[in-house]
A and B are shown apart, each in its own frame.
Chain A
């Protein structure tokens, strides 16, 4: 058991345990929680955040961040919606999402890395620009009740599994392989630990950073395809809460914002735990207004408990903390 835990990673195990325990508590308190339909609902609610969180994991891994992810999803969703309205084939619309996301990812990467602006500031600026773009593109009329073609396409089952599950598994699998089995992962972590040392070691730092931002953009676009398929509408405030939720889920999952440690599985568990709590609390009749408070407390508790339990020499911790979070794109 101990060996298993070590291999599994303590944080992932903790989150999995958290999901199971809160799941058990909710199923005792509400007869409707542990039903196939409801579990499917939780899975569906998690889809976008799972994809966006995956990209955010890579970004935090290199000591970057992107606070504009929600608006990237929004812009891509408008593109998809307009295509559907114009009668484009659903498959084309579905592909338009990731393509638009990749393009916006290139823009973000360009501004952050070639403009040498710290990621958090650069994406804050881009957030404003993208938001304005969403307003202008929608021009006061929402897209609602979009054609169901895309919905049917993405609700189809392949080998008995919903497309969304397959796509998410593929995305996580591909990035897992890239991180674990190719130099990309080692480079990513090296940059996260120390950009200067990574550069000295001859790693193509910029290439890896650009890749991380572009992949994250593509995943936001992919999330947009699923968003439009599920909700069939695009309104002005689309995605406004996603960036902070994604950061919360990724950090909860054990990825260090100081860079140098990432956990894909942790991110997935983090997202599912957040969505599971949102769903379960409503099912047992807890007022929805308190949910943000619980999200915050969860974040502080998990990280605080870990901080208390790990007895690292303080000096080492400080070295890694100083400035590292904002390193990407600067100096």
Chain B
């Protein structure tokens, strides 16, 4: 009986593996997200696959099931060991990526970052969806357009340890201070990984601040929580919800009016650009300052000094345009 279950286990493993075998001659580009099983990174995977087919490389998508940086590093290490040619990482923790950067250099694997950066780690380049500053500014500017300058805004984030989320919050606060002195941003609250806790915190923030005008859900797990909390509290129209979340996640809340808008880029395009960048690194090609990669509809910019390959401006989704997007 036990040998049976072991055989079954092995068989399951073999089955799961089957699909990942491909021609050994192809160059391999890998992308490691912060966590798998969320719509945002799944969209990046779809874009990466598309680009891989277009540019004739193999694409490997592999990420941790928890936002745990050591698990992420283990995955990156194994990708390097199995001989991929380029690996892109959406970095969970900029401070702990150093060992795998060294390992990649030793094996001549191009290690670069995408979606979330580790600036001083020695990575080859950073594929940015938008600058952290641009994202922080956009969400605050759009909020002010809707609630005015003289307003109180709450911030609900996910894990307190996520370096990219904290950077966005930092730029939100800087923008408010520099441009909208009357705008009052409340101290950010951290919900951890669950939408349930995000909903509870959002509700409590509205209760504690009856004059609250807006709520920003920073992590994509916090978006449904914030949107639902505004609906449940009956504060649609009184409190404007928003967050960095994909149209699919925000659609129901945009339609109900609990979300005024949502700020994001097209993660599929970002995935596409990531694999394109990986291909350029493998081929050893210089990336020009402005270029339109094959298969993309608009140009991207590259700053050789900072190593940032910029996708473009973040997009703002509203109830009017959300149905044009399917990610």
In the complex they form, whether A and B have CB atoms below 8 Å apart is answered with yes
The residues in A between 216 and 245 inclusive whose CB is less than 8 angstroms from any CB of B are: 227, 230-233, 235-241
A142 at the interface (CB under 8 A from B): yes
Q: Mark A202-215, 1 if CB is under 8 A from B, else 0.
A: 00000000000000
B207 at the interface (CB under 8 A from A): yes
In the assembled complex, the Cα of A252 lies from the Cα of B218 at a distance in Å of 34
Which listed residue (A38, A41, A238) contacts B196, Cβ 8 A?
Answer: A238
B39 at the interface (CB under 8 A from A): yes
A residues less than 8 Å from B227 (CB atoms): 145
Q: Are A142 and B207 in contact (CB-based, < 8 A)?
A: no
The residues in B between 137 and 179 inclusive whose CB is less than 8 angstroms from any CB of A are: 160
Which listed residue (A32, A35, A144, A287) contacts B224, Cβ 8 A?
Answer: A144
In the assembled complex, the Cα of A204 lies from the Cα of B199 at a distance in Å of 44
B42 at the interface (CB under 8 A from A): yes
Main secondary structure of the interface of B (DSSP, over half): helix
Q: Are A231 and B190 in contact (CB-based, < 8 A)?
A: no
Q: Are A278 and B224 in contact (CB-based, < 8 A)?
A: no
Which listed residue (A48, A139, A237, A283) contacts B221, Cβ 8 A?
Answer: A237
Q: Are B201 and A282 in contact (CB-based, < 8 A)?
A: yes
Q: Mark B177-213, 1 if CB is under 8 A from A, else 0.
A: 0000000000101111111110111011101101000
A14 at the interface (CB under 8 A from B): no
Q: Which residue of B lies closest to A48 (CB)?
A: B196
Least distance between B46 CB and chain A CB atoms (Å): 10
Q: Are B201 and A241 in contact (CB-based, < 8 A)?
A: no
Q: Are A231 and B196 in contact (CB-based, < 8 A)?
A: yes
Least distance between B39 CB and chain A CB atoms (Å): 5
Q: Are B38 and A37 in contact (CB-based, < 8 A)?
A: no
A279 at the interface (CB under 8 A from B): yes
Q: Which residue of A lies closest to B157 (CB)?
A: A288
Q: Are B197 and A241 in contact (CB-based, < 8 A)?
A: yes
Contact flag A145-B37 (CB < 8 Å), given A278-B200, A289-B190: no
In the assembled complex, the Cα of A240 lies from the Cα of B193 at a distance in Å of 8
A residues less than 8 Å from B221 (CB atoms): 235, 237
Q: Are B194 and A237 in contact (CB-based, < 8 A)?
A: yes
A residues less than 8 Å from B194 (CB atoms): 235, 237-241
Least distance between A45 CB and chain B CB atoms (Å): 5
Q: Are B39 and A140 in contact (CB-based, < 8 A)?
A: yes
A residues less than 8 Å from B201 (CB atoms): 282, 288
B residues less than 8 Å from A142 (CB atoms): 38-39, 224, 249
A residues less than 8 Å from B35 (CB atoms): 236
B251 at the interface (CB under 8 A from A): yes
Q: Mark A267-287, 1 if CB is under 8 A from B, else 0.
A: 000000000001100111101
A6 at the interface (CB under 8 A from B): no
Contact flag A231-B192 (CB < 8 Å), given A140-B38, A241-B197: no
The residues in B between 200 and 254 inclusive whose CB is less than 8 angstroms from any CB of A are: 200-201, 203-205, 207-208, 210, 221, 224-225, 227-228, 232-233, 248-249, 251-253
B residues less than 8 Å from A30 (CB atoms): 208
Least distance between B149 CB and chain A CB atoms (Å): 23
Q: How large is the interface on B (under 10, 10 to 19, 20 to 34, 35 or more residues)?
A: 35 or more
Q: How large is the interface on A (under 10, 10 to 19, 20 to 34, 35 or more residues)?
A: 35 or more
Q: Are A232 and B38 in contact (CB-based, < 8 A)?
A: no
A residues less than 8 Å from B200 (CB atoms): 45, 278-279
Q: Are A145 and B195 in contact (CB-based, < 8 A)?
A: no
A residues less than 8 Å from B7 (CB atoms): none
Contact flag A231-B42 (CB < 8 Å), given A38-B207, A144-B224, A236-B37: no
Most buried by A among B38, B192, B200, B249: B200
Q: Are B224 and A231 in contact (CB-based, < 8 A)?
A: yes
B residues less than 8 Å from A144 (CB atoms): 224, 248-249, 251-252
B65 at the interface (CB under 8 A from A): yes
Q: Are A233 and B195 in contact (CB-based, < 8 A)?
A: yes
B36 at the interface (CB under 8 A from A): yes
The residues in B between 271 and 291 inclusive whose CB is less than 8 angstroms from any CB of A are: none
B residues less than 8 Å from A41 (CB atoms): 203-204, 207
In the assembled complex, the Cα of A288 lies from the Cα of B35 at a distance in Å of 24
A138 at the interface (CB under 8 A from B): yes
Q: Which residue of B lies closest to A41 (CB)?
A: B203
Other than A139-B37, A282-B189, give 12 A-B pairs with Cβ distance below 8 A: A32-B207, A32-B210, A37-B233, A135-B37, A138-B37, A140-B41, A145-B255, A235-B194, A236-B38, A278-B204, A279-B200, A282-B204
